[in-house]
Structure 1
Amino acid sequence: MTDDTDRHAAKMAKKKAARDKIMATKTDEKGLVIVHTGKGKGKSSAAFGMIFRCIAHEMPCAVVQFIKGGMSTGERDLILERFSDVCQFHTMGEGFTWETQDRTRDTEMAQAAWAKAKELIRNPEIRMVLLDEINIALRYEYLDIKEVVAFLREEKPAMTHVVLTGRNAHDDLIEAADLVTEMELVKHPFRSGIKAQIGVEF
């Protein structure tokens, strides 16, 4: 057992030295363009995790919801009730596209949400802006992908993080991003007849 313990300690010490050497070269900071996409659950949940980190560090932040409508969610209720001084929250959509069934109205709402998003991103005091489900608006061409990418490249303040969520992220957005995570669907209770549940989905 002692030999195994010693071997493990030596292995971990070697790994730590290699890791420390790598970390010593990572000294830059910048505002990131972060994309959460894929068919798996957790895209918005992970993004809200970052928003709550910002809140914990008292970093001004903001959320713009592009598709989700007026239904109550835990994240929105908590932010509006307790953290509205540090995090702005704007629900600009009127529900999922299959519920509204009105392309003209959906496009108008997405354009209004994008206008609000640009206003928030341009404010250098806001350190992170979450554009929740914007990828859906881009997929259905409610917004112009070229305009969105150009804005992020040319007008986003250098130290502002922007998080964009939703399935089917556009290739141009993925190319422009600094960090892209694809949530892979392995298993989902919905397929077994289990509905969305409080505390898990909202």
Structure 2
Amino acid sequence: MSDGDEVEAARHAAKKAKIKAARDKMMATKVGEKGLVIVHTGPGKGKSSSGFGMILRAIAHGMPCAVVQFIKGAWDTGERRLLEATFPRLCQFHAMGEGFTWETQDRARDVAAASRGWEKAKALIRDPSIRMVLLDEINIALRYDYLDIDAVVAFLRDEKPEMTHVVLTGRNAKPELIELADLVTEMTLVKHPFRAGIRAQPGVEF
């Protein structure tokens, strides 16, 4: 190694040591734990996929969890197949929806399905043995006022057990939910194959 390379290596090491010291100092103050309210929203793809990724992570840690699907209940999805076939003791799966709103074309039916889904969700969240609950596409039900946003926010604020994580997915998350949440991620649409005439495909979309 040349003298110049040694000087550069020393500078790099000193810079990284400074960053590590600052990081360690910051991390020393982060000692709290709590059950989080997590929102995945936005027009981009990946909201449900990210939620199911968190469910699989919880399963890997031996944490009992549950899924309530509010919209895509009629779909035969890869996530549902995997969770029901492989992890039935660690993850409950409840498909409560009857398809997208443009498929049912029946508001009263959609409201009833959403209400059943929310009642199931509340029971699962209240269960102290369950550590994470994914409410997949609940934001769609809230967007169309199939559920009362104030009632949902009040329940999550006042009744959710302290250490239970709740993940809520779907575009157009209500401002009240975003305000309550501990973690909010917005998926941004940059490019999507649907616009080029490519339909939803197994393993990618469902």
TM-score, reference length from structure 1: 0.98
- In the alignment, the residues of structure 2 paired with residue 116 and residue 82 of structure 1 have an alpha-carbon distance, to the nearest angstrom, of 22
Q: Which residue of 1 aligns with 2:8?
A: 4
Q: Which residue of 2 aligns with 1:177?
A: 181
* Contact persistence 1:60–1:86 (CA under 8 A): yes
Q: Which residue of 1 aligns with 2:152?
A: 148
**Deviation larger for 49-58 or 67-76:** 67-76
User: Which amino acid in the other structure matches residue 183 of structure 1?
Assistant: M
- In the alignment, the residues of structure 2 paired with residue 74 and residue 13 of structure 1 have an alpha-carbon distance, to the nearest angstrom, of 45
1:29-70, CA deviations, whole angstroms, 9 ceiling, x for partnerless residues?
Answer: 000000000000000111111100111111000000000032
1:181 counterpart SS class: strand
Which structure 1 segments of 5+ residues have no match?
none
2:134 counterpart SS class: strand
- In the alignment, the residues of structure 1 paired with residue 52 and residue 73 of structure 2 have an alpha-carbon distance, to the nearest angstrom, of 17
Identity %, equivalent residues: 74
2:139 aligned with 1:135, yes or no? Answer: yes
Larger radius of gyration: 2
Paired residue total: 202
Match of 1:37 among 27, 38, 41: 41
2:107 aligned with 1:103, yes or no? Answer: yes
- In the alignment, the residues of structure 2 paired with residue 8 and residue 190 of structure 1 have an alpha-carbon distance, to the nearest angstrom, of 45
2:45 counterpart SS class: coil
Q: Which residue of 1 aligns with 2:60?
A: 56
Q: Which residue of 1 aligns with 2:169?
A: 165
CA drift of 1:13 comes to 1.0
Match of 2:197 among 190, 193, 198: 193
- In the alignment, the residues of structure 1 paired with residue 12 and residue 189 of structure 2 have an alpha-carbon distance, to the nearest angstrom, of 35
Q: Which residue of 2 aligns with 1:19?
A: 23
Match of 2:32 among 22, 28, 34: 28
User: Which amino acid in the other structure matches residue 51 of structure 1?
Assistant: I
Match of 2:120 among 103, 116, 130: 116
CA drift of 1:2 comes to 2.4
**Deviation larger for 44-53 or 69-78:** 69-78
Which structure 2 segments of 5+ residues have no match?
none
2:184 counterpart SS class: strand
- In the alignment, the residues of structure 2 paired with residue 192 and residue 142 of structure 1 have an alpha-carbon distance, to the nearest angstrom, of 32
* Contact persistence 1:69–1:96 (CA under 8 A): no
- In the alignment, the residues of structure 2 paired with residue 189 and residue 13 of structure 1 have an alpha-carbon distance, to the nearest angstrom, of 44
CA drift of 1:131 comes to 0.2
CA drift of 1:20 comes to 0.6
